[in-house]
A and B are shown apart, each in its own frame.
Chain A
Amino acid sequence: MTAIVASLLVACAAPTEAAPSVFESPVTPTPEGRIDKLVLAKLSKLGIPPVLCSDAVFVRRVYLDVLGTLPTAKEAREFIQDPDTKSKRRLLIDRLLARDEFAEYSAMKWGDILRIKAEFPVNLWPNAAQAYHRWVLASIAEDKPYDKFVREMLTASGSNFRVGPVNFYRAIQNRTPDGIAGAVALTFMGTRTESWPTNQLAGMAAFFSQIGYKPTREWKEEVVFWDPLSTNAEASNCASNSSTLTATNIAPQTAVFPGGKRVKLSPDRDPRKVFADWLITPRNPWFTRNIANRVWAWLLGRGIIQEPDDIRPDNPPSNPALLAYLQKELVASHYDLKHLYRLILNSRTYQFSSVPRSDAAQSEANFGSYTVRRLEAEVLIDNINKVTGASDLYTSAIPEPFTYIPSDQPAIALADGSITSPFLALFGRSARATGMENERINKMLSAQWLHLLNSSHIQRKLEQGPKLKVIFDSGHKPPEMVEELYLTILSRFPTPDEAKIAADYGKPGQPKTAKRREDWVDLTWALINSSEFLYRH
């Protein structure tokens, strides 16, 4: 296999015609580790020659994927000009994984999956949504091992305001044993119980048939607890609007693991713990595969099993050996997710160019090129604000009194899906209703273009944003200003062609040195509306 890889790499080292070099590195990609070997073996079979991305593309990509935030002009410039080509990418990855925004941005993704939302439809209530988010954020910030993170959620008891992870069991629309089992399977096994045989779901639901919910004297406080007296047949504490329980054909004291093994529930042990013991172990076929595949999907834009939360026998991984390797690494690192991030980010596979050399769909499906995708709603508006120096107002109109978020807080740090803005709604932020990954929709629609191209919301930022003002009023020569705008917005230097187009833009006949303010606004507008700004690439 090594020979195949080597010949492939030689083949793609030859200079190719298309894509401008600004996006690609002339350096031949050599396999950096096991990931690359496994991916390249597949690619060579398919005849897909991958190309490495340029430093400029890399710096932008890794900031966006790890922090959900653009590099500043200074950060981009320093990285691109750093002569240490051997290790600068690795060192940057380490620096970024240590930054606070990593936890904020990860918590945003988890917020979708764990359905952190005060209001409709999961109705956690604001204090509970905040407590839930705070716990998730702190867990990520302290590098809590993933297995511990999940166990705390699955076995938590206590007040929704005080014990963050109990809200896992509250952030479910259908709080019946079946509904809870469905949420557990989706979240931690990456599988949709809709496709399961009914009795399989019922068997698993029995583990969640003794969860009680009771109010306290504090307004909207609710205690989640193990209630051994509650059974499927009299689950009166479960959601009042729940439909009929379908788990009644299972004797209350027997539960069945999704693999088929039956277990008698003992009256002195919380069945949630019995389930957690089964799930959270390297031997479990679901647990590690789900998270390894999810993290891969977050970074590469698609899962080895796609979609990442639709794992089932008839949806096999596109590269089984690759997924198995990631799982092995995760287990060996004791479920250190940052280890997995580091491994993937340092692979040449992650650093491939996004400009496909062959059929784009096939190339992306086999990780022969990085999948371009529009920035998430929160990341997009944060980046627009970062570039312009403007800010947005995030509010929740319910319950009263209305919630307002301080203007210096970025959208990725919003704890609660009910705290929002028209922009976030328009650009497909997750409704956090189901915990499914595809609730978030990163696709350009006409109405979104109207907003980006021509709304007063964006135009105001371009005309009045304080950071842009600093550039516009800097007194620097136009070519320097163009360069600064490119580094700020696109994280790279302009090409000579681009520099010329930018210099020529303006009123016909006017001297190039005398650009009007509105010409600079238009130039900024064009860069912000370019695919290069709007998409991860």
Chain B
Amino acid sequence: MKYSYYPGCTLRTKAQQLDAYARASAGVLGFELEEIPEWQCCGGVYPLGSDEIATKLSSVRALNYAKEEGQDLVTLCSACHHVIKRVNDDMKHVEDIRTRANNYMQLSEPYAGETKVLHFLEVLRDQVGFEVLKEKVVKPLTGKKIGAYYGCLLLRTSKILAFDDPENPRILEDFIRAIGGEPVLYPYRNECCGGYISLKEKQMAKTMCDTITESAKGFGAECLITACPLCMYNLNKSAGEELPVFYFTQLLAEALGVKEQVDAQLGKKAAVYLEQSGEGCKCQGKLNEPGEERTGTQDRNKEEQKETCEEGGRDS
């Protein structure tokens, strides 16, 4: 089974693990994530204004690509999932937005919400099945007490996202059981981590996350799992060493026995970046050296070096 895959900006940069563990795990579970070429950032937050069209177009482009491929669209980041699913709903049900977005897009066939949007967790639950996942686990996380942190963006608004019960969700708990762990229920698992407020109101976000992490610890959680890089960042500010926060895909990869392999790949990438970043990017300086005789080979080298350089730059 192949899916059109929308990674999103942060999975290319700060949250590479979230992406890499998911891809490797998908391989074990028998499905493939085909990255949508030239996807554009979803904007991180759903544009709420009913007259906002341009800010929804990057989602429409991704959705239409998946439609043309005849595939469902899979996301991993909670925010991308939230934005793309809601824009898809608009395209399906809100005539004004559909008409105006299509006027911008000028597609050969107008897009009207045909694509099915799935979060990776929904693929695990509804397409793979947690029972099948359980059978594929080679290193169960037996005895590990794991708190699921849902946050807002996976669940609300539930009429549109239709992801799980917004007040008493269970998909992450079922996931934890499938990989052999022991889910810890705590009351703040679907409360907000502060989201983008942490850019300017750092203390406010910290206070909110303290409540969440204290609650999780109080109910006996040894770690938290999340699907959102921003939740991860905010929670890490208050969770401390006692309560590590992991992407759910990391524990998935661990249970499926592919974590080491992914870590080695990520390590290599990081090493390349470190080598390049000593005093800025050395290869760029070298390329621009004047008077250098340009031959065909050098030009080719130049292209190659440039590619590595940009690759490294994304790691920053």
A, B co-complexed: no
Identify the B interface with A (CB < 8 A): none
Identify the A interface with B (CB < 8 A): none
